């Protein structure tokens, strides 16, 4: 008796697409993604960590083996994070992209950094397409839906537009590459592909610790493909889990050392549970309706939590139960998408509270791939169920297409929000006007940097009104009062206000080195050199690598004729800031005053090499050369100084000409 064949589900699209169709779709999606995200390229820096990660980061000023070795040292961290691969990409972007600003600092263009982030996003969009196309047996629906929404989703703008979020796009690149290689291994038991999977995973984990979720995703891929989780499958994952544990321990140690983790005194276990469940649910909601966009979503007042926080645990439990039943019912595709989202989002939910934000849009960058997979499977199910209804079928296609197209202008507008610190903080303030102090502080810093002192003072006042227990806000207002005094506005009164604010900052946080350094500057402007010296010294004792405190103490001691201590402090500063030509010049002057003429000449040579069009530098070197008995070279420098507009005393020129003529 012949066996009867099982009835097969009719494909929603029985027409086999031509071989070029996937690549045409990929090209179209990449073009649309580029058009959507390209406004980020014209954005400037923001004062939300960009200064720490790039603009003032001495760790990446040179791109060479020494820099790379330093970045990969497990003791090297930026804002408590160990992410050497991501930092290496920033160092690469910085090469040849800075020039002296004439004030001892550097002018660094943001555009090359934004271009690199956009390129990574385009590459990631391509990898999403390739992974979904390959993993789901070359069904075009999955890569089209997944890559389209990944490329243009408004919640992904932050990861692309924010230079300090470079680690998001970099770790995702290697994460997706690892998944592609592992799928090849699953298909052909290719051990070379497994090795490539591991290598890409290590690079991903060294780009951002969130990559430690990858072993869990690999196990989910095994289950989806029907692979038994036996000894062979689990042993394959041992090196992956070992790396995850190592990266996890490094991350916890770094966060703890920088006090980045919130204590249970601020957030109890119950509150953390509510916050974590809220994030799990709200990220799903924002995947469908990306409303209330902002760079900073603050923690709410624990005593005024809205009803959604109390509903969130129920909804989160429902999601977990739903995943369980999807597996039991054999809906492995929907299950895989859901478990992908859950595994990759879990580590950034605020069950362990850290940072300033309750939720962060950039954290959705990779996890949303899982939700897009679920959407594609839901769409496939609907197309199969109503395949005979052409109007409904095309309506479903149109719905997804309209969703993607609707996201394009939203993402373009959000990309423009990241234009600069003011536009970015304007949006956060509009969303949370009475709850969020940090955006007022950061916008105040932007106003101060642009010499708009009135609006800056208003913003610092508002930040302090919202959060009067934050030392940083008093520190920044105190610095503003000192600048107002320097501008001649009520000098004595503003200096008193400055010292009062900075003293309050120290009262709130007695171990704040920046507050001591800032108060030292205010005391110095008041003429109280003894108090200034004490504050600079205290700042250094709290933070031995505090370059600004060394510099300020050095200048104070130089002006007080304490030349040897001044030189020691200049040495400390130059050791970590070798390209600051203004301070190199000051050290050279100090060495000259101490009679260390050859050492002074070494500094002056470096200064002129870095800035060959500054006449005053040639004038200083002329004095040193004359002292060393090199009258001809000194005369050449003096003449060059005059050519560049520097003032050269006629008596000095005649003296040099006389020496040269008499040789």
Contact residues for 17 (Cβ-Cβ < 8 A; gap 6+): 140
- pLDDT grade for 5, boundaries at 50, 70 and 90: very low
- pLDDT grade for 11, boundaries at 50, 70 and 90: very low
Q: What is the pLDDT of residue 452?
A: 96
Q: Say if residues 638 and 622 touch (Cβ distance below 8 Å).
A: yes
- pLDDT grade for 383, boundaries at 50, 70 and 90: confident
Q: What is the pLDDT of residue 272?
A: 92
Supply 85's token pair. 């691969």
- pLDDT grade for 615, boundaries at 50, 70 and 90: very high
- pLDDT grade for 113, boundaries at 50, 70 and 90: very high
* Residue in the block written with tokens 């047996």: 137
- pLDDT grade for 104, boundaries at 50, 70 and 90: low
Q: What is the pLDDT of residue 20?
A: 86
Q: Give pLDDT tens digits for 237-295.
A: 999 999 999 999 998 887 776 665 555 556 788 999 999 999 999 999 999 999 999 99
Q: Is the pLDDT of residue 223 over 90?
A: yes
Instruction: Report the C-alpha gap between 103 and 101 in whole angstroms.
Output: 5
Q: Is the pLDDT of residue 646 over 80?
A: yes
Q: Give pLDDT tens digits for 13-60.
A: 445 667 888 999 999 999 999 999 999 999 999 999 998 899 888 788
Q: Is the pLDDT of residue 455 over 70?
A: yes
- pLDDT grade for 358, boundaries at 50, 70 and 90: very high
- pLDDT grade for 3, boundaries at 50, 70 and 90: very low
- pLDDT grade for 449, boundaries at 50, 70 and 90: very high
Provide mean pLDDT across the span 383-387. 74
Average pLDDT over the chain reads 91
* Residue in the block written with tokens 């943001």: 110
Instruction: Report the C-alpha gap between 347 and 570 in whole angstroms.
Output: 43
Instruction: Report the C-alpha gap between 282 and 278 in whole angstroms.
Output: 6
Contact residues for 657 (Cβ-Cβ < 8 A; gap 6+): 635
% pLDDT > 90, the chain: 75
Instruction: Report the C-alpha gap between 288 and 624 in whole angstroms.
Output: 70
Q: Say if residues 600 and 592 touch (Cβ distance below 8 Å).
A: yes
Q: Is the pLDDT of residue 536 over 80?
A: yes
Q: Give pLDDT tens digits for 538-595.
A: 999 999 989 999 999 999 999 999 999 999 999 999 998 887 888 999 999 999 999 9
Q: Give pLDDT tens digits for 115-132.
A: 999 999 999 999 999 999
Q: Quickly list H helices, 206-306.
A: 214-224, 231-257, 269-288
Q: Say if residues 534 and 553 touch (Cβ distance below 8 Å).
A: no
Instruction: Report the C-alpha gap between 76 and 279 in whole angstroms.
Output: 30
**16 DSSP assignment:** P
Q: Give pLDDT tens digits for 390-421.
A: 666 666 667 777 777 889 999 999 999 999 99
- pLDDT grade for 188, boundaries at 50, 70 and 90: confident
Q: What is the pLDDT of residue 637?
A: 94
* Residue in the block written with tokens 């974590």: 276
Q: Is the pLDDT of residue 12 over 70?
A: no
């Amino acid at each position: 008796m012949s066996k009867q064949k099982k009835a097969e589900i009719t494909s929603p699209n029985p027409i086999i697409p031509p071989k070029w169709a996937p690549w045409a779709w990929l090209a179209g999606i990449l073009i649309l993604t580029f058009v959507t995200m390209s406004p980020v390229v014209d954005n400037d820096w923001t004062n939300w960590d960009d200064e720490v990660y790039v603009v003032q980061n001495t760790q990446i000023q040179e791109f060479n083996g020494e820099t790379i070795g330093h970045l990969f040292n497990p003791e090297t961290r930026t804002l408590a994070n160990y992410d050497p691969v991501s930092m290496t990409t920033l160092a690469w972007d910085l090469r040849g992209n800075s020039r002296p600003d004439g004030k001892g600092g550097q002018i660094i263009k943001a555009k090359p950094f934004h271009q690199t982030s956009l390129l990574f996003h385009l590459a990631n969009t391509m990898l999403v397409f390739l992974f979904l196309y390959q993993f789901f047996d070359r069904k075009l629906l999955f890569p089209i839906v997944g890559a389209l929404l990944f490329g243009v989703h408004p919640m992904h703008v932050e990861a692309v537009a924010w230079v300090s979020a470079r680690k998001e796009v970099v770790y995702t690149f290697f994460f997706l590459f690892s998944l592609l290689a592992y799928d090849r291994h699953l298909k052909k038991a290719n051990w070379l592909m497994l090795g490539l999977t591991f290598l890409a995973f290590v690079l991903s984990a060294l780009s951002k610790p969130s990559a430690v979720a990858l072993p869990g995703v690999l196990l989910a891929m095994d289950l989806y493909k029907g692979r038994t989780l036996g000894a062979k499958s689990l042993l394959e994952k041992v090196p992956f889990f070992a790396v995850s544990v190592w990266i996890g321990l490094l991350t916890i140690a770094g966060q703890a050392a920088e006090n980045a983790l919130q204590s249970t005194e601020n957030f109890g276990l119950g509150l953390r549970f509510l916050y974590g469940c809220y994030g799990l649910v709200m990220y799903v909601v924002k995947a469908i309706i990306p409303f209330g966009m902002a760079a900073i979503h603050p923690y709410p007042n624990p005593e005024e939590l809205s009803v959604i926080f109390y509903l969130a645990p129920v909804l989160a439990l429902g999601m977990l139960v739903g995943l369980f039943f999807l597996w039991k019912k054999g809906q492995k595709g929907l299950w895989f998408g859901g478990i992908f989202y859950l595994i990759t989002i879990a580590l950034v939910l605020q069950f362990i509270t850290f940072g300033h934000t309750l939720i962060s849009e950039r954290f959705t960058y990779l996890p949303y791939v899982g939700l897009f997979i679920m959407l594609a499977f839901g769409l496939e199910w609907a197309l199969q169920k109503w395949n005979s209804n052409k109007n409904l079928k095309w309506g479903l296609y149109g719905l997804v297409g309209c969703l993607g197209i609707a996201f394009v202008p939203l993402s373009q507008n959000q990309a423009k929000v990241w234009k600069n610190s003011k536009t970015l903080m304007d949006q956060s303030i509009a969303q949370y006007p009475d709850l969020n102090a940090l955006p007022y502080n950061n916008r105040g810093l932007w106003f101060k940097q642009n010499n708009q002192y009135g609006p800056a003072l208003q913003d610092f006042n508002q930040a302090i009104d919202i959060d009067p227990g934050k030392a940083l806000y008093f520190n920044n207002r105190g610095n503003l009062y000192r600048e107002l005094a320097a501008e001649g506005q009520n000098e004595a009164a503003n200096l008193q206000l400055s010292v009062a604010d900075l003293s309050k900052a120290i009262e709130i946080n007695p171990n704040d080195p920046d507050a001591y350094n800032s108060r030292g500057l205010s005391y110095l402007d008041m003429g109280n050199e003894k108090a200034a010296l004490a504050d600079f010294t205290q700042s250094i004792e709290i933070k031995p690598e505090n370059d600004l405190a060394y510099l300020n103490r050095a200048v104070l001691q130089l002006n007080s004729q304490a030349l040897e201590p001044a030189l020691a402090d200049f040495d400390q500063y130059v050791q970590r800031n070798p390209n600051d030509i203004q301070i190199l010049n000051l050290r050279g002057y100090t060495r000259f005053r101490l009679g260390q003429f050859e050492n002074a000449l070494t500094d002056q040579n470096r200064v002129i090499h870095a800035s060959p069009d500054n006449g005053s530098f040639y004038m200083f070197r002329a004095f040193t050369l004359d002292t060393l008995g090199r009258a001809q070279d000194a005369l050449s420098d003096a003449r060059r100084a005059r050519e560049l507009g520097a003032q050269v005393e006629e008596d000095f020129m005649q003296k040099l000409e006389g020496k040269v003529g008499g040789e």
